[in-house]
Amino acid sequence: MTVRPIRLFGDPVLRTPADEVTDFGPQLRELVRDLEDTVREPGRAGVAAPQIGVSLRVFSYNVGGVVGHLVNPVLSGHAGEQTDEEGCLSLPGLGYETTRYDTVVATGFDQHGEPLVIEGAGFLARALQHETDHLDGRLYVDTLTGDVRRQALREMRRVVPR
């Protein structure tokens, strides 16, 4: 079991779009194992490869006791809206009301290169969107606007180690 350390805001890997996975060999399976071990830690709903310092389009999730992963995800089929507090392991201790789609369909591959479709609603939909954003070099705070965004940026400067 390998639980990898989480990269924090300020690390350039979090702001760089991740590379598409082209090799579905043993190194990818090792990365997926590490991501799934890391997301099993209490209080974690998702971990994207860039959060552990690997710039590849892979993430794991842990929602409702179900742990899974997705390689090269593409989101589609979204509907509705939900607004709830969202946090991020790379921005520890912070959480802000964030609006996301209420349902999404995520397509991609499993660690062996087999096609995979995940239909998410509610919290799973939120996690799929959050982790896919990480793969695109975005953080949830990028979606905030107005006073909430200004407050978040102030708090980030105050609490995130440099």
| 131 carries an active-site annotation | yes
Residue positions in the annotated binding site for Fe cation? 88, 130, 134
Give the helix/strand (H/E) hosting 114.
Answer: none
Give the helix/strand (H/E) hosting 100.
Answer: strand 95-100
Q: Are strands 66-79 and 46-48 parallel, antiparallel or unpaired?
A: unpaired
Residue positions in the annotated binding site? 88, 130, 134
Query: In terms of DSSP H, where are the helices of the chain?
Result: 26-39, 123-135, 146-159
Looking at 30, 119, 131, 155, which residue is catalytic? 131
* Secondary structure of residue 108 in the 3-state scheme: strand
What residues have CB less than 8 Å from 1, skipping those under 6 apart? 37
Which residues carry out catalysis? Answer: 131
